[in-house]
Amino acid sequence: MRVALEVSQVKRLRQFITYARLAASTVMVVGIGVLAGWLLDVPVLRTVLPGWTAMMVNTASMFTVLGVGLWCATFRTSQAGSLIRRLGAVLVILVGGLTLVEYALSVDLAIDLLLPFELQHSQPVTFPGRMAPATALCLLLSGFGLLLEGRSLLPQFFASSALFISLMALAGYLFSVSVLYSVGLYSSMAIHTAIALILFNTGLLVIQERSGFVELLTSDTAGGKVARSLLASIPVVILSIGGALLAGEKLGYYDNRFSLAWMATLSIATLVAVILRTARHLHQIDKSRGNAQAELAALNAALELRVVERTSALETANRTLMSEMLQRQKVEDDVRRLSLTDELTGLHNRRSFFLLADQLMRSARRNDQSCALFFIDLDGLKKLNDVHGHEAGDLAIIAAAQVLKAAFRVSDVVARIGGDEFVVLAVDVKESVDILSARVQTLVDEFNDSDRCRYPVALSIGAVRCSPKELKPLGELLAGADAAMYANKQLRRKQALYCEGCLTRVETCV
């Protein structure tokens, strides 16, 4: 919508510039035509009608200059055109101003007959070639308006003042009121002078892009449309009515009172018609605006409904997404836990043990703490699997894990690193490894004698202890504990506490 408004405003500005160029061309043609009339002695070019006031050579020359200046003013980007416009404006100001000085001071500055037009010298006046005071004043104002073109207010003031004076002169000609265009004998403004001034100053007004007047005329608002309608119709209609009634009065159809009454009546009727047409146009604009607002309200309501529906759908999708994310997080946590936990026993697995053991041993070095590492093997697991199945082997592994968790502290790392192999790392223990191994063996015996036992377990235990000052690498400690475990296993075989004895007890164990 706003783009369309800007396009229409630009289009009207271009139309105004076209009008200004046509006005400039007409003013130039008028000036050149009058000069030709003086040069070739063609009275109709000088006076339009016999007995009417002639346009002087200086005036015609200044109109030619003003026409060129107004034409150049329509090309704002041309530096040469701007220079020509200013020089022409200064020349017009000088001629108009010096002529007014001649009238005001009753002097002859010898500017009236500077141009070589000999026919002027034969004029029956005191100062042949001198323009009328009103013409000189209008040229002075027009010159200042052209010189200051592009400013905000001054060009409008000068052009409007000159336009008002020339309109009065034109009305004087139309209604035969000589006082409106004449100041004393032989000082009348010619009718084509008035017309040329009107064209020039209206053209100068419509190219003032910074003026509020032009902004109003080019806008698509109600005020702009009313202004364009009234300015285009009322002056033409009123002047036409007045001219027609005056012509009837001169022909003797009626007297001046009847003419005045008809003028008032027709003017009122015309104004009422224009006002009604304008009001109807504004009414249509308001209806269109109301319809547009209603459509906009309906669109907003539909949009709000769609927003609510879309918001609900998004909330549902977000809840679904959050549920999926929570499920995924749970799965990831489970995967992470399973990657560090032995699935069967719930103990640390091999990977988790090495990670935690490395951290605990570094902490032990910093805190000057001793460490104890236990390597434990579940005896007879293969034979148990072969005789009673893998379920029995799993139960034995679980039982061994429970015994080890009960024998050591929560802070100790108990892990299953292989099928029947367990390791325990204890940090800052005060008891000896033999005492701790004996505690494990005691718990094994208690389990085998309890009602919880379905398959008895037997553990071979190897342990090494390391003081803070000689804390060895984890691999070396494991190798030492493993060797001690095998030594313990051999000792247990010699004492006849190995799997055969255990299998005998299986028959009687519930």
pLDDT tens per residue, range 398-455? 999 999 999 998 888 999 988 889 999 998 888 888 898 999 999 999 988 888 888 8
Residue with tokens 């570094």: 362
CA-CA-CA-CA torsion sign (344, 346, 352, 354): negative
Q: Can you give the pTM of this predicted structure? A: 0.54
Percent of the chain at pLDDT > 70 equals 81
Q: How many residues does the chain have?
A: 510
Average pLDDT, the chain: 81
Quote the CA–CA distance of 331 and 337 in Å, as a whole number. 10
Quote the CA–CA distance of 482 and 472 in Å, as a whole number. 15
> Is residue 69 within 8 Å of 85, Cβ to Cβ?
yes
> Is residue 149 within 8 Å of 216, Cβ to Cβ?
no
At 331 the pLDDT is: 55
At 187 the pLDDT is: 62
Tens digit of pLDDT at every position of the chain (510 positions)? 444 446 777 788 888 889 999 999 999 999 999 999 999 989 899 888 887 888 999 999 999 999 999 999 998 778 888 899 999 999 999 999 999 999 899 888 888 888 888 777 777 667 788 888 999 999 999 999 999 988 878 888 999 999 888 888 887 777 776 665 665 444 678 889 999 999 999 999 888 876 666 666 666 676 666 666 666 666 677 767 777 776 776 777 766 676 667 667 767 777 777 777 777 776 777 778 788 888 888 888 888 888 888 888 888 888 877 876 777 666 555 555 556 788 888 888 888 888 888 888 888 888 888 889 999 998 888 888 888 888 888 888 999 999 999 999 888 899 998 888 999 999 888 888 889 899 999 999 998 888 888 888 889 999 998 877 776 788 888 899 999 999 988 888 877 544 444 444 433 332
> What does DSSP assign to residue 341?
B
At 496 the pLDDT is: 52
Quote the CA–CA distance of 416 and 341 in Å, as a whole number. 9
At 67 the pLDDT is: 95
Output the CA angle 501-503-509, nearest 5 degrees: 105
